[in-house]
Structure 1
């Protein structure tokens, strides 16, 4: 589980090109939420709330990058991330992120399942 998180943070920190499998995206999100909760808890206990903000800023770019690459895997532009800013309509983004990727190469690159 942690290897998916580290893959995004180490290898694809500022990478918006290519494709990301569902597993890569959801494992990154799961570990990110767990770490954010732990950091928030510790920061609250020591009354240093700014620590959570630093973590959020540190994972902002990798999070946007893996989301854009996940959208590329289903054949959508990374700009579809902006749908998440629209109340209720943003739920469609979750639907898109849960879809199976396009089999074979598409306009955004080779199939990550076939490569891995």
Structure 2
């Protein structure tokens, strides 16, 4: 049962390598993320034992896009629309850039809040952040809740 869930989650993870569209269920998201985290730890240990740090670099580079696309698909499932996702990503990248240049504690704080959002938001259920009304101030960033 668990092996099947992991297999399905990893198939989804790697088959949607560059695909930002669509959704990722909570179950698929967490099975894929958990498996990738465990494999990352294993690759980190292996690369230190074989004294080949490039093994870890290759592993991380191989996973950067599927991690981003999985995160986007999961946040879309929670209720963000494309504009909201891009806005969140731009805020993160801008804060990171400004922090790296200025070493400002304010931008470090902003970065921590955004990272916390990326970590905590996937916990939410499908459409939990989707809005009911189109005239909401969050309308440009969130999907409108569909009646199920």
Taking CA–CA contacts closer than 8 Å with sequence separation of 6 or more, which of the two structures ends up with the larger relative contact order?
1
Q: Which runs of 5+ in 1 are unaligned?
A: none
Could you tell me which of 63, 72, 83 is aligned with 2:76? 72
Cα shift at 1:26? 1.2
Matching residue of 1:26: 30
Contact 1:67 1:81 in 2 (8 A): no
Q: Which runs of 5+ in 2 are unaligned?
A: 97-109, 129-141
Q: Distance in 1 between matches of 2:72 and 2:42?
A: 26
Secondary structure at the aligned position of 1:16 is classed as coil
Q: Distance in 2 between matches of 1:7 and 1:64?
A: 13
Cα shift at 1:22? 0.9
TM-score, L = length of structure 2: 0.63
Contact 1:8 1:66 in 2 (8 A): yes
TM-score, L = length of structure 1: 0.79
Cα shift at 1:82? 5.1
Matching residue of 2:18: 14
User: Does the C-alpha gap of structure 1 residues 34 and 57 become closer, same or farther in structure 2, counting only changes over 3 Å?
Assistant: same
User: Does the C-alpha gap of structure 1 residues 83 and 89 become closer, same or farther in structure 2, counting only changes over 3 Å?
Assistant: farther
Q: Distance in 1 between matches of 2:54 and 2:117?
A: 32
Aligned residues: 107
User: Does the C-alpha gap of structure 1 residues 56 and 41 become closer, same or farther in structure 2, counting only changes over 3 Å?
Assistant: same
Could you tell me which of 36, 43, 48 is aligned with 1:39? 43
Cα shift at 1:83? 5.7
